[in-house]
Structure 1
Amino acid sequence: MSEDFYIKYIVPHKGIIIKLCRAYTDTEFDFEDYFQEVCLQIWKSKDNFKEQSKWSTWVYRITLNVCMTMLKKQKKHTATNEIVQNDLSTESEAFNNEELQLLYKAIRQLPEVDKAIIVLYLEDKSYKEIADVSGMKVSAVGARINRIKTKLKTIIYGK
């Protein structure tokens, strides 16, 4: 992966990649593996991008697919880790805030699709963008987000 590709196509979407990877990992070590694998898969699949959606939607879908795939592999104890050299100093900040830790702990308890939806919602994505990434109808996104918020409140506050 060239530095130019990384700067032009990864860095502008680094925030959502970080948030999705963080929602699917418990440790900084796992987070770094997920982040690196996402970057590698974006680079590998760049020629498959047909411009039928926004580049950001493409990045979200790849990130979500990588996270879910790695989670399944990790659960089976057969995960393999690819190493792509990137500057991960900013990513480690996602592990230093206690309130964020509590939120991510709660998010990790959600079903896989709900994790992706709430992270996109927290990223201030429109219902249309969330629908594009998740494959849901726009009309169902709002109701799903409200149910997820209720679940998170229950998990965090026990109410």
Structure 2
Amino acid sequence: MNETENIFLSLINQHKAIIHKVSKMYMIDAEQQRDLFQEIVMQLWKAYPTFKGNSKFSTWMYRVALNTALVYFKKDHRKVDKTPLNENIDVIDTDDSEAKEERLAYLYKAVQELNAVEKALIFLFLENQSHREIALNLGISEVNARVKLNRTKEKLQFIIKKNGYEF
């Protein structure tokens, strides 16, 4: 392995949680999540020569990961899994609290009802991105990011209430 590959792999290892979260946000099935994870890593490697360091690696990675997920989601037209909530849901992020894990699973299940852009907005919001950072990552204005995020949060709250998984 050359130095560029080693640096890239080190950066991916440091920030792989981003890829896991994006994969989980866009795909509910564990196998589809793994496929999307691999696709994101491949696209990151292809785009790595264009990373100039003008922003943090994680910021650049968010943008590539979300764009890849959006294209992958649209291209494959994955259908939303309509399995009942009482079935086991494979959660990638683990936590020592069962209640927190259950709430997280409900959140991911509810997010599956959002469209691809809304999923990106919620993902970036959950990653504590500012409205400005969300706008930069999605290529929209800050005002548009703020409005869309508020509407998406309201929609997500409605979905959670409608499906009876309020926490």
TM-score normalised over the length of structure 2: 0.75
Match for 1:146: what amino acid?
Answer: N
Which of the pair has more CA radius of gyration?
2
Shift of 1:118: 0.8
Greater relative CO, 1 or 2 (CA 8 Å, sep 6+): 1
* C-alpha distance in 1 between matches for 2:120 and 2:67: 10
Q: What pairs up with 1:18-57 in 2 under 5 angstroms?
A: 18-57=20-59
Segments ≥4 residues shifted beyond 6 Å: none
In the alignment of these two chains, the number of paired residues is: 145
Percent of counterpart pairs with the same letter?
Answer: 38
Aligned to 1:87: none
- In the alignment, which residue of structure 2 is the partner of 1:131? 135
Structure 2 residues not aligned, in runs of 5+: 80-89, 96-100
CA 1:120/1:76 → structure 2, altered by over 3 Å: closer, same or farther? closer
> Which whole-Å CA distance do the structure 1 matches of 2:17 and 2:29 have between them?
18
What value does the CA root-mean-square deviation take over the aligned residues? Answer: 2.6
Could you tell me how far apart the structure 2 residues matched to 1:104 and 1:126 are? 21
Task: Report if aligned partners of 1:28, 1:95 keep a CA contact under 8 Å in 2.
Answer: no
8 Å CA contact 1:16, 1:120 repeated in 2: no
> Scaled by the length of structure 1, what TM-score is found?
0.79
Whether contact under 8 Å (1:95, 1:101) holds in the other structure is no
Q: In structure 2, what is the Cα distance between the partners aligned to 1:51 and 1:65?
A: 19
